[in-house]
Amino acid sequence: MASTVDSAAEQLSKLGIDGAFADSAPNLKKNLHLLSSEQVELAKMLMEMGQSHLFEKWAAPGVDDNEKKAFFDQVAKLNSSYPGGLKSYIKTARELLADSKAGKNPFDGFTPSVPTGEVLKFGDDTFINYEQAGVKEAKNAAFVLVAGGLGERLGYNGIKVALPAETTTGTCFLQNYIEYILALQESSCRLAEGKCQEIPFAIMTSDDTHSRTQELLESNSYFGMKPTQVKLLKQEKVACLDDNDARLAMDPKNKYRIQTKPHGHGDVHALLYSSGLLKEWHDAGLKWVLFFQDTNGLLFKAIPASLGVSATKQYHVNSLAVPRKAKEAIGGITRLTHADGRSMVINVEYNQLDPLLRATGFPDGDVNCETGYSPFPGNINQLILELGPYMEELKKTGGAIKEFVNPKYKDASKTSFKSSTRLECMMQDYPKTLPPSAKVGFTVMDTWLAYAPVKNNPEDAAKVPKGNPYHSATSGEMAIYCANSLILRKAGAQVDDPVQEVFNGQEVEVWPRLTWKPKWGLTFSEIKNKVSGSCSVSQKSTMVIKGRNVVLEDLSLNGALIIDSVDDAEVRVGGKVQNKGWTLEPVDHKDTSVPEEIRIRGFKINKLEQLERSYSEPGKFSLKP
């Protein structure tokens, strides 16, 4: 043993390395000569930052040497992917853990109040005008999807963006998003007098989702987008922390690895900045960046109007919101006013809103008011940022977002954790560092129009208190049919009321299964122009419109109707369509003979009979059975 140490010491001196810094970590010291000079620097940093325990179980030189190098590869990655490096991560962690132990409230000194924002009503003149302004502005926008989350609450084995948003057409979320962006691009381009450009689309992935997202895009020819239009940015995980001293946690399965966990969707800002994408977009003359999440099938119905609000009001930050039920698991948009006069409009996360209210003179906490909703609008985490001021801010911060830590303590002494924790950050916390002069606003839309995420597994969804949204695959799909039915009603069609049914233990409204491609109806005005005369749709009906120029004219639908047509074909659909249609057949979420993406909804579609027509040539056509 002594000879190994001696020879290691000799080798160190030959390499010109003073190993004294590793005196308190003998197992590291013995192995130092195996390391490159960069790795030795990283080892010094770890020692300085009180991380000697990481080397306690290291074997003698000659054993596991490749694993030791791999350990430092991991450390180098953790160091380079965090703004300010690992040293800064550990320092921040110590501060935040101390605050957490002391029970310090991050909102200390702030009083919450209900902010005022733009409240839109679907289909009225203001809404229509904002939609038009938004479509016009879309040519100056870039879209960013945060899709690095594993979706633990949903428990689906695939990536969430690959899930069908609805099973009538089987269109997955990613396809739906891309088709909406392409439809916006085309419509905006038609309105533009100047040169048209492609709308860039960035997707933040993580190790959990990256390769499967790439495969989904590649195997579907990017759903019609140019591959160069789509950029994938992979977020890295951050080191886990074992105790209040921010000692990094070892991976329980490998003594040469640090345990890591996701840092949260807030990473998106640093990645957009460090990748150079923001600068590229700015240089290309773009003006807006729109952020959105992975499983909201309604979202793009709200985009044109909310972008119109941003453009008209010149908001630097515009958060899209919906009425929120008290204690619903979405953050509340809140005005926070500090005793010193500072004030900001910001998302307060759902687990913080109730204690904050109780601590500041609202003894009942987060409760519904006379409207049946919380007075604080619900953040749906769709943000529209004006690119210029966003770039300026990120030049100062590098995209670092205020972090938080949420350790689960073993007991009231708060000295040890039940399991390792880590720092986290959220994309909606971006406005926290903005100066008071920044124009931060929000836009409230009807929930039926804008928000139906798929986040909860069937069992948890079935336990959601009555009256609160399920946020499941079942409710997410039903919400699309509901929204489309209500939109068609507003456009003048007579659409039957829904029936109540129970799928996977969740009572839902089943509306006619109406779907259309985004290019058919991007805005309400566009849809209104394509519905004329006296149209009616029965509750048992299904309709799929895949063509751009399909006009519904005196159509009476009681069954299933599927129309596909090329862009240059104008198809007028009318008359009486009557057939057995497509029915919904209950399935159990535990029945593994049914594919997972179907059984998590609790029903499958039985295609009994339909009228299906396809128009592949340009021209004017009439379909009147």
Q: Is 131 in the site for ligand UGB (CB under 6 A)?
A: no
Beta carbon nearer to ligand UGB, 147 or 178: 147
Selection from 316, 315, 354, 314 nearest residue 334 by Cα: 354
Beta carbon nearer to ligand UGB, 117 or 453: 453
| Choice from 259, 310, 381, 542 touching ligand UGB (CB under 6 A) | 381
Q: Which residues contact 264 (CB under 8 A, 6 or more apart)?
A: 424, 425, 426, 427
d(CA 202, CA 208): 17
The count of chain residues that interact with ligand UGB, using the rule CB under 6 A, is 24
Q: Is 176 in the site for ligand UGB (CB under 6 A)?
A: no
Site for ligand UGB in 303-332 (CB under 6 A): 330-331
d(CA 365, CA 455): 25
DSSP state of 240: -
Q: Is 297 in the site for ligand UGB (CB under 6 A)?
A: no
Task: Pick the piece of the chain touching ligand UGB (CB under 6 A) from 14-22, 140-148, 217-225, 364-372.
Answer: 140-148
Task: Pick the piece of the chain touching ligand UGB (CB under 6 A) from 106-114, 144-152, 400-408, 552-560.
Answer: 144-152
| Choice from 30, 455, 599, 601 touching ligand UGB (CB under 6 A) | 455
Question: Least separation, in Å, of the C-beta of 417 and ligand UGB?
Answer: 20
| Choice from 115, 117, 149, 602 touching ligand UGB (CB under 6 A) | 149
Site for ligand UGB in 203-222 (CB under 6 A): 204, 206
Beta carbon nearer to ligand UGB, 202 or 545: 202
Selection from 12, 69, 83, 16 nearest residue 39 by Cα: 69
Strands 550-558, 536-537: pairing kind = parallel
Q: Are 477 and 458 in contact (CB under 8 A)?
A: no
Beta carbon nearer to ligand UGB, 58 or 156: 156
| Choice from 118, 294, 386, 446 touching ligand UGB (CB under 6 A) | 294
How long a stretch of residues is the chain? Answer: 625
d(CA 15, CA 39): 13
Q: Is 299 in the site for ligand UGB (CB under 6 A)?
A: no
Q: Are 204 and 144 in contact (CB under 8 A)?
A: yes
DSSP state of 285: T
Q: What is the DSSP string of 591-618?
A: -TTS-HHHHTTTEEEEE---EEEEE-SS
DSSP state of 493: -
Beta carbon nearer to ligand UGB, 136 or 335: 335
Q: Would you give the binding string for ligand UGB spanning residues 225-264, x where CB under 6 A is met? A: ----------x--------------------------xxx
Question: Least separation, in Å, of the C-beta of 331 and ligand UGB?
Answer: 3
Q: Is 269 in the site for ligand UGB (CB under 6 A)?
A: no
- In three-state form (DSSP H/G/I as H, E/B as E, the rest C), the secondary structure along 193-206 is CCCCCCCCEEEEEC
Q: What is the DSSP string of 449-492?
A: HH--B--B-HHHHHTSPTTS---BHHHHHHHHHHHHHHHHHHTT
Q: Is 134 in the site for ligand UGB (CB under 6 A)?
A: no
Positions that interact with ligand UGB (CB under 6 A): 146-149, 204, 206, 235, 262-265, 293-294, 330-331, 347, 349, 379-381, 426, 428, 453, 455
